[in-house]
Amino acid sequence: RTRIKNERYESGVIPYAKMGYWDPDYVIKDTDVLALFRVSPQPGVDPVEASAAVAGESSTATWTVVWTDLLTACDLYRAKAYKVDAVPNTSDQYFAYISYDIDLFEEGSIANLTASIIGNVFGFKAVKALRLEDMRIPVAYLKTFQGPATGLIVERERMDKFGRPFLGATVKPKLGLSGKNYGRVVYEGLKGGLDFLKDDENINSQPFMRWKERFLYSMEAVNRSIAATGEVKGHYMNVTAATMENMYERAEFAKQLGTVIIMIDLVIGYTAIQTMAIWARQNDMILHLHRAGNSTYSRQKIHGMNFRVICKWMRMAGVDHIHAGTVVGKLEGDPLMIRGFYNTLLLPLRLDINLPPKGFFLSPNPT
């Protein structure tokens, strides 16, 4: 009864900050999941209130107070915006630091984690734009995920390549080749000195070349190039398909042909990615992820999500490597930004704050 009488449980619409989603004195726990959002409030909306709204809507809140909060440990489960800083050289953007209790998330589930962190808040009226810039995943939560299916050390051992980068390329044109001509390109590239060739993101099983035909000709090319050069070679077989059953079928066939690596596309979704990572570990297969589709939400600087976060989630999901961008070529890529992505993907456990230029907001950073 005492809890009902306090201001937190007044009837009507109450500001999110007043409901407990803003707590500048909050002491961060080692097990908390931390997120940093770039918040652009609507005109007239206080940045603290906008940040509290993001915290609320990505955890336990709705647009008004509900008495059923009293049936939960709501003081624990509320996300807390605990710090708001103005973004340098801007007049309407703010960095909002938000802490989430670990029990808000299902163990080992990227789908559940993202349903909260990016599930509903990006269409919220209190903000005109919102971008997830960084996350700190605590070790206690990180340990509930499988992690990379094989790992880079095992990949080097399997390919017998040490002391230098792998050299790879993508078959072009990526669409239109017959299976036999596709295999010819794979053979010429591998025989010419490449370690790997790969399918591109949108080569799956089209009328001009069905997946089984591509797999057969590509593996023939791999085996012939190994015989010709005496080196271990490989080709990334894209097993992306419409259903998990189809992907399993393609992955199993690739395994029977003797490939050491398969690939999937980011667009298949977080649950499918984790599922294929489990299959890859069980079947001793290297798993590559093409970041197809990421720029739809990562390229804009004030709305969407930083690719750095995708890098962390995909390490947790269990892929062995992912496209992380280059400084040259046709796609956008700032040198320091790309280096930051590489560090996020390669460095162990902890990363120091480095902002600017490489963009790490949260430290310690177990991912």
347 CB-side CA count, 13 A: 15
Please classify residue 333 by burial: count the beta carbons closer than 10 Å to its beta carbon, then call 0-12 exposed, 13-18 middle and 19+ buried. Answer: middle
From the candidates 233, 235, 290, 358, give the one annotated as an active-site residue: 290
Is 235 among the catalytic positions?
A: no
Q: Which residue has the tokens 């407990």?
A: 20
Is 172 among the catalytic positions?
A: yes
Using DSSP's 3-state secondary structure scheme, residue 239 falls into coil
How far, in Å, CA of 54 to CA of 64, rounded?
Answer: 14
Neighbours of 32 (CB within 10 A): 22
How far, in Å, CA of 139 to CA of 337, rounded?
Answer: 25
Q: Which residue has the tokens 């295999």?
A: 183
273: left (phi over 0), alpha (psi -120 to 50) or beta: alpha
Phi, psi (degrees; rounded to nearest 5) at 263: -140, 155
From the candidates 29, 143, 172, 180, give the one annotated as an active-site residue: 172
**Catalytic residue IDs:** 172, 290
